[in-house]
Amino acid sequence: MAGHSKWANIKHRKGAQDKKRAKQFTRVIKEITVAIKENNQNGDPETNPALRNAIQNAKGVNMPKDTIERAIKKASGADADSYEKMTFEGYGPYGIAFYVECTTDNTNRTVASVRSIFTKHNGSLGTNGSLEFLFDRKGVFTLKKENLDWDLEELQLELIEAGATKFENEDGFFVIYTDFTDFGKMSEKLESLKIEPHNAELQRIPLNTETLAVEQAKQIVNLIEAFEDDDDVQDVYHNLEMTDELEVALEEEAS
């Protein structure tokens, strides 16, 4: 997903881009729907910060304006889809930890699907809470550097006051991390500076990562992609170290 730091960047294989785009649209539409439902059917982004953030994320994946407006209108109406958030924890092969976040309209289907994906890839579904301690929940804001009229050092000083704890300067992007409790505060700070994030979300960042041999790591990548292909899955977090060797191997496989 957009905004993930290097540890979560999976180079998708050839032919996956259209599928990935459709998945991103589905994910954001669910995010819009939940944001409206959890705020008493409030479809006004001016008074619903969660919806305002979801709209920013929709723009970040280049969702057309009319599609966003239709999603808001439908989610605000009486016939709105009803979604529930669910989380799952488990292990993939070689002891790699997974934390899977879902948004679903059928909990039985989602439980069965997640369990099946773990099983088919030689993993195991654990009990909720068993692996949560391996991840730290952070606010992650991704800015496009081409849209910034700021000197990055000056911007960092401004954002530290709003709770920024870490910065990453990636190719074309400037990534800001905050504690979970400072997510809203940072959103307000960026808005006051008239900076619109490319992506803003709460992520689960692994406290430590595990390095595997390339062929073993590819098995984990297959499991990650299987989860990402499931329509009910919103986000997949893991503690696999994305080494340079693995990045190269995945790029070669995709070419």
For the residues 174-187, what does the mean pLDDT come to? 94
Statement to judge: residues 151 and 196 lie in one domain: yes
What's the average model confidence in pLDDT over 65-85?
A: 89
Q: How many structural domains compose the chain?
A: 3
In a domain, 223, yes or no: yes
Task: Give the CATH number of the domain where residue 58 resides.
Answer: 1.10.10.200
Whether 148 and 190 share a structural domain: yes
Cα distance between residue 166 and residue 179, in whole Å: 10
Q: Which residues form the domain of 14?
A: 6-76
What pLDDT, on a 0 to 100 scale, did the predictor assign at position 252? 85
| pLDDT value, residue 79 | 79
Q: Is the pLDDT of residue 188 over 80?
A: yes
Claim to verify: residue 117 and residue 163 sit in the same structural domain: no
Q: Span 197-202, mean pLDDT?
A: 91
104-121 b/e (C-beta count within 10 Å ≥ 16 → b): beeeeebbebbeebbeeb
Domain boundary among 27, 52, 76: 76
150 and 177, same domain (yes or no)? yes
Does a structural domain hold residue 241?
no
Question: Is the same domain home to 227 and 119?
Answer: yes
pLDDT at 19: 64
**Model pLDDT for residues 116-153, shown as the tens digit of each residue:** 999 999 999 999 888 989 999 999 999 999 989 999 99
φ/ψ region of 207 (left if φ > 0, alpha if ψ in -120 to 50, else beta) reads: alpha
- Verify that 68 and 115 share a domain, yes or no: no
* For residues 77-84, average pLDDT: 83
**Are 127 and 171 within one domain?**
no
Residue 126 shares a structural domain with residue 149: no
Q: Please tell me whether residues 23 and 35 are part of one structural domain.
A: yes
Is residue 253 domain-resident?
no
Q: What is the pLDDT of residue 41?
A: 87
Structural domain contains residue 114? yes
- The CATH number that applies at residue 197 is 3.30.70.980
What DSSP designation does 22 have?
H
pLDDT at 192 over 50: yes
pLDDT at 15: 40
Asked if residue 182 and residue 159 are part of one domain, the reply reads: yes
Regarding whether 140 and 16 lie in a shared domain, the answer is no
Q: Per residue in 4-24, pLDDT tens?
A: 344 444 333 334 455 677 788
**Statement to judge: residues 16 and 70 lie in one domain:** yes
In a domain, 60, yes or no: yes
- 238 within some domain: no
Surface-to-core class of residue 171, CB atoms within 10 Å of its CB (0-12 exposed, 13-18 middle, 19+ buried): exposed
pLDDT of 51 > 50? The answer is yes
Sheet of strand 135-144, all strands in order from the earlier edge strand to the far edge: 164-170, 173-179, 135-144, 199-206
2 pLDDT tier (thresholds 50, 70, 90) = very low
DSSP 8-state class, residue 12: P
What pTM does this model have? 0.85
Confidence (pLDDT) at 251: 85
pLDDT in tens, 89-126: 999 999 999 999 999 999 999 999 999 999 999 999 99
Output the pLDDT for position 5.
41
pLDDT of res. 13: 39
Q: Length of the chain, please?
A: 255
